[in-house]
């Protein structure tokens, strides 16, 4: 499958002009229209909203835990009995949801409450941010234990251990795809003049969960070897619930997850370099999630940078007359999809015997080389090689 003809060799000035359309207020919270195909009904099966669903779609409101008791809201308090789960969580992006440099660099430019609703989603956390721009001890916990496990002042879980001291609400669909969709599936918002999000549009901003559900229905999810049970019963946790106690919830910031998800291969077809990028291990599109994320493939010779070949795998956006933004172009990789780029060596310029540089990167931000560093990596290298054309392996027939 070849790339879109207008994207194969976009000059850098065009690339940046198009990329600028992707800029939005923050790195992305919320939840959209309800996700079909999830186990979203109540545990009793009466068709009511799930017990954990305490806010409407779109992340327009905070999550109300129904308590202000620090014994239930503090992740540190949870660690007294749940040490392994706390260790997992503490090294996850959930724990860093509010404090990570990429989010904070975006949020400081446009500090909108809508962003807080998924990066420090509990109502008491939002109150801290309203009182103090940088938040407080509770906000700094990001997506904490309570963000998932506390509703109506009770512990929420899939089951209740007989030795547990907690007043527990059991929900069979807790932690399923529709639960994850509360922050990982949502539409573009429309902001009022005062900066608050007044409604959601019909245009998806993040569609990670619906992408996964479509792939699961089509039998295209590349489940990890350790996956058990029928495919229709597997969910987001099957791939993402990692760590000692299954609470690390790793994603694109974890090198091992990227290595599992993406494969980059290079070969030579006579005097043409062929670069193939494949989504071999993710059950949703790659990249997914934050709208700034993209892949970039580059082929060049050092003495002729003006002949750089550069391909972009991501999304483009434009303002919609009805408010918010909408996607105008999407070259992300669906599960099991591969994208192949053919680069004639003659197009690269330079000397005939000069080595060729080849690189693929996963980029987390709009500009992989920002003027101000967010204090954490803005990209990860997926593949890099520098070699004479003759040293590249011939492509298979």
Sort 37 into a burial class: Cβ within 10 Å, 0-12 / 13-18 / 19+: middle
Number of Cα atoms under 13 Å in the Cβ half of residue 149? 20
Please state the separation of Cα 108 from the chain's center in Å: 20
Q: Please, where in the chain does CATH 2.60.40 lie?
A: 12-23+253-391
Q: What is the pLDDT of residues 90-117, one digit of tens each?
A: 999 999 999 999 999 999 999 999 999 9
Q: What does the block give as tokens for 238?
A: 């099957």
Q: How much of the chain is in helix, strand and coil states, percent to nearest 5?
A: 25, 25, 50
Please state the separation of Cα 218 from the chain's center in Å: 22
pTM tops 0.85: yes
Instruction: Provide the pLDDT for residue 57.
Output: 87
CA 263, CA 279: separation in Å to the nearest integer? 7
Give SS3 for 294: strand
Q: What is the pLDDT of residues 198-228, one digit of tens each?
A: 999 999 999 999 999 999 999 999 999 999 9
- What is the share, in percent, of the chain residues with pLDDT greater than 70? 88
Please state the separation of Cα 374 from the chain's center in Å: 18
Q: What angle do CA 150, 154, 156 make, to 5 degrees?
A: 55
Q: What is the pLDDT of residues 25-40, one digit of tens each?
A: 343 333 333 454 333 3
Is 50 exceeded by the pLDDT of residue 24?
A: no
Give yes or no for a contact between 184 and 30, defined as CB atoms under 8 angstroms apart.
no
Instruction: Provide the pLDDT for residue 45.
Output: 44
User: Which residues 6+ apart lie within 8 Å of 259 measured at CB?
Assistant: none
Is 70 exceeded by the pLDDT of residue 10?
A: no
CA 28, CA 351: separation in Å to the nearest integer? 45
Question: Average of pLDDT values for 72-87?
Answer: 96
Sort 331 into a burial class: Cβ within 10 Å, 0-12 / 13-18 / 19+: middle
What is the CATH architecture assignment of 12-23+253-391? Sandwich (2.60)
Per-residue pLDDT band for 133 (boundaries 50, 70, 90) equals confident
Is 90 exceeded by the pLDDT of residue 288?
A: yes
Q: What does the block give as tokens for 280?
A: 């071999």
- What is the share, in percent, of the chain residues with pLDDT greater than 90? 83
Q: What does the block give as tokens for 1?
A: 């499958």
User: Comparing C-alpha atoms, which of 267, 275, 281, 259 is closest to residue 333?
Assistant: 281
């Amino acid at each position: 499958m070849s790339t879109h003809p207008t994207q194969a060799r976009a000059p850098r000035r065009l690339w940046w002009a198009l990329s600028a359309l992707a800029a939005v207020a923050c790195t992305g919270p919320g939840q959209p229209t309800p996700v079909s195909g999830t186990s979203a009904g109540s545990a009793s099966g009466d068709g009511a909203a799930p017990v954990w669903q305490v806010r409407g779609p779109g992340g327009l409101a905070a999550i109300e835990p129904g308590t202000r008791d620090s014994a239930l809201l503090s992740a540190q308090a949870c660690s007294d009995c749940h040490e392994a789960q706390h260790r997992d969580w503490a090294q996850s992006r959930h724990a860093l949801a509010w404090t990570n440099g990429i989010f904070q660099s975006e949020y400081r430019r446009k500090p909108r409450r809508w962003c807080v609703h998924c990066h420090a989603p509990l109502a008491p956390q939002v109150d801290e941010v309203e009182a103090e721009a940088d938040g407080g001890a509770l906000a700094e916990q990001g997506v904490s234990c309570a963000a998932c496990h506390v509703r109506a002042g009770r512990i929420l879980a899939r089951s209740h251990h007989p030795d547990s001291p907690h007043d527990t609400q059991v929900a069979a669909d807790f932690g399923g795809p529709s639960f994850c969709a509360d922050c990982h599936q949502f539409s573009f918002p429309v902001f009022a003049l005062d900066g608050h999000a007044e409604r959601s549009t019909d245009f998806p901003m993040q569609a990670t969960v619906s992408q996964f559900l479509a792939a699961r229905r089509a039998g295209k999810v590349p489940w990890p070897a350790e996956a058990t049970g029928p495919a229709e019963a597997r969910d987001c946790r099957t791939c993402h619930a990692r760590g000692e106690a299954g609470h690390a919830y790793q994603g694109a910031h974890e090198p091992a997850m990227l290595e599992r998800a993406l494969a980059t291969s290079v070969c030579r077809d006579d005097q043409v370099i062929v670069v193939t990028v494949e989504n071999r291990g993710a059950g949703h599109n790659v990249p997914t999630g934050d709208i700034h994320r993209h892949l970039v493939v580059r082929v060049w010779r050092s003495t002729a940078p003006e002949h750089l070949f550069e391909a972009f795998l991501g999304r483009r956006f434009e303002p919609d007359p009805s408010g918010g933004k909408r996607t105008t172009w999407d070259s992300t990789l669906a599960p099991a999809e591969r994208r192949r780029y053919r680069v004639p060596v003659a197009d690269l310029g330079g000397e005939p015997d000069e080595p060729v540089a080849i690189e693929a990167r996963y980029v987390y931000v709009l500009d992989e080389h920002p003027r101000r560093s967010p204090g954490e990596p803005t990209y990860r290298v997926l593949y890099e090689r520098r070699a004479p054309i003759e040293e590249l392996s011939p492509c298979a027939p």
